Amino acid sequence: MSNFIQLHLLTSYPPSCLNRDDLGRPKTAIMGGIQRLRISSQSLKRAWRTSDLFKEALDGHIGTRTKERGVQVYNRLIEGGIKEKQAKEWAMVIAERFGKLKGKDKNKPLQELEIEQLAHFSPEEMKAIDAVTKTLLTEKRPPNEKELQLLREEHQSVDIALFGRMLASNPTFNMEAAAQVAHAISVHKVAVEDDYFTAVDDLNKGEEDMGAAHIGEIEFAAGLFYLYACINRDLLVENLNKNEELAKKTLRALTESATTIAPIGKQNSFASRAYASYILAEKGNRQPRSLSVAFLKPVTGNDMLNDAIAALNKTRDNMDKSYGPIASSRYVVNATTGEGTLAGLLDFIS
């Protein structure tokens, strides 16, 4: 059995619109028959892996997700003096190694150089593509088959190691995610509200028109969220080509990001950045489990955070009574009482 690390976070966000649906409304979900606020795992993971904190901690080991690597190669070939027709042909040959190409679009001249599916490239793979492009510029010729072996089964890209990679056209280079992140769900019932706002033209003196220069509407809500994440530490080490030290740095960066980094949606309008108020970290070899059932019945009352903490811990203890101890060790950070520290949590995790 693998060595699992589980994180249970309670984070309170003030009025905000951190993660929107196709209509621009805060995302929601029905849980326990009640509407809750929701922040998708995709939104959370992107916020963490693109944060300055994550980048600085793991510099040189972070990949790039893009459909446009072929376009980048083409632009570099053109800048290096390769004729347009050759540059496009050579770039297409390279791009096809990462997935099926989109095809031509008269409204987007270089779309045929884009792949249909987002591909996640490790730093090692990005360097290999750059090296091939440099060779083509120097020798003025198309790439050969050996040079087109650009994807790597072994690399040390921490975001691919954590969140996985799926290449439909090249399954050999797929990687199973070492981290599983649930959608964050509010522990209580929510009602999405409307913010009707106007903007005034500073040069309008009101001599002819007293009306607003702009009228808009934003939907928002506030919530105390429960977030669950599980990391398979053994798989993380394996995904990082057995680099134990890099795995430790990755665990620390992921944990600190999860507890301190908020999604960036509408931050300029709401300034809704928040740190986790309560963190329960667990380590052990038994089958992991979420504690979301603690909030199947929505939390109510005037002391929502402490009531949520109590519900979380009661569920944890009762599950231990029913199934036996799930975790071999635990660490708690409670910002409302001053119990535990971020530094202590990171040492425990790593």
The pLDDT tens digits of the residues spanning 241-256 come to: 999 999 999 999 999 9
Whole-angstrom Cα Rg for the chain: 24
- On the question of pLDDT at 109 being above 60, the answer is yes
Helices (H), the chain: 41-49, 52-57, 69-79, 84-95, 123-139, 158-163, 233-239, 244-260, 267-270, 304-323, 342-349
Cα dist. 194→24, 28, 111, 215 in Å? 11, 15, 39, 13
Between strands 34-39 and 28-31, the pairing is antiparallel
249-288 burial string, b = 16+ CB within 10 Å, else e?
bbbbbbbbbbbbbbbebbeeebebebebbbbbbbbbeeeb
Beta-bridge partner residues of 101: 115
Q: How high is the pLDDT of residue 343?
A: 98
pLDDT tens by residue, 187-225:
999 999 998 888 888 888 777 777 788 888 899 999 999
In the predicted structure, residue 2 carries a pLDDT above the cut 90: no
From 79-88, 103-112, 155-164, 253-262, the region with the lowest mean pLDDT: 103-112
Q: Quote the pLDDT of residue 253.
A: 98
The predicted structure's pLDDT at residue 170: 84
What's the rounded mean pLDDT across residues 325-348? 97
- What are the φ/ψ torsions at residue 95 (nearest 5 degrees)? -60, -35
Q: Which of 243, 257, 247 has its CA nearest to residue 55?
A: 257
Residue 86: the pLDDT is: 95
Is the pLDDT confidence value at 348 over 80? yes
> What is this structure's pTM?
0.92
- Residue that wins the pLDDT comparison between 43 and 107: 43
Which residues have CB under 8 Å from 255's CB, separation 6+? 7, 281, 345, 346, 349
- 200-222 residues labelled b (16+ CB within 10 A) or e (exposed): eeeeeeeeeeeeeeeeeebebbb
Assign 1 a pLDDT band (cuts: 50, 70, 90): low
* pLDDT score, position 205: 77
Span 272-314, pLDDT tens digits: 999 999 999 999 999 999 999 999 999 998 999 999 999 999 9
